[in-house]
Amino acid sequence: MNNDTILINKKSWDEVAPRFYGRTALPEYGPFAPEETELKLFGSVRGKKVLDIGCGSGHSLKYMNDNGAAELWGLDLSHSQISAAGELLKDTNVKLFQSPMELNPGLPQTYFDVVYSIFSLGWTTNLEQTLKNVHEYLKPGGVFIFSWEHPLFSRIQNTDDGLLFNKSYHEEGPYDHQAWNHPAIMQQYKVSTYINSLVDTGFKIIKMVEEARITDELISRDHNRWYNWSKVQSVPTTIIFKCEKH
């Protein structure tokens, strides 16, 4: 775990949290990605204990509550995000923890039916430790679902000559995201690194999704942004995994 990176990212998220209020939350998995209403990766969550890693403003937990989840638990690095989630979910039984995802702040082990992370996992400074924590939180047979920016997307840029690689796909590790306007450090991994890390941790991969869904509304909303139409036509924005604990 890199404490310096975590402190930088916490400060950044505490500042920008209002700008991301309610953004990229279930049923959405990510920009231009198929939604849960189509994929149905979770199935019924009625009566289940769920944990959100990187819960942000709490809107994915609200989605879980609206669909009958029995227990709502959330973890996020940012004090601002946890405060927003607490206010949004004040009429529920939610339990919220402000903590890096690399640490267990007191969450029960072998307890949850479902752990998920919507467009947050790439902020971890230690993928293996975070996956180990998730595996420990889940009951045997429990499900882990997560989405993140597709590893190809930030390696390719729009130019006047078309789409070009701006860094090697083989390069992994921390990087400053081109579209992030505050000091912050994300992590870059190959698809094979995610797959192998999940398998090595003890997960069975049930499904991987990297398709795009393109609508006129999304094209209009995201025009000239990082996730723009000309790039999305050729490069997937989002990768989604559904896994099961052995």
pLDDT (tens digit per residue) in 56-90: 999 999 999 999 999 999 999 999 999 999 999 99
Task: Give the torsion sign (CA, 139, 62, 149, 76).
Answer: negative
**Tokens found for residue 149:** 């920016």
pLDDT above 60 for 224: no
Q: Report percent pLDDT > 70 for the chain.
A: 95
pLDDT above 80 for 145: yes
Superfamily of domain 3-17+32-245: Vaccinia Virus protein VP39 (3.40.50.150)
pLDDT (0 to 100) of residue 1:
74
**Tokens found for residue 102:** 């690399």
Q: Report percent pLDDT > 90 for the chain.
A: 78
Q: Is residue 212 within 8 Å of 237, Cβ to Cβ?
A: yes
What is d(CA 100, CA 78) in angstroms, rounded to the nearest whole number?
9
pTM for this model (two decimals): 0.94
24: helix, strand or coil: coil
Residue type, 210: E
Give the start-to-end residue ranges of the domains of the chain: 3-17+32-245
- The more confidently predicted of residues 218 and 125 is 125
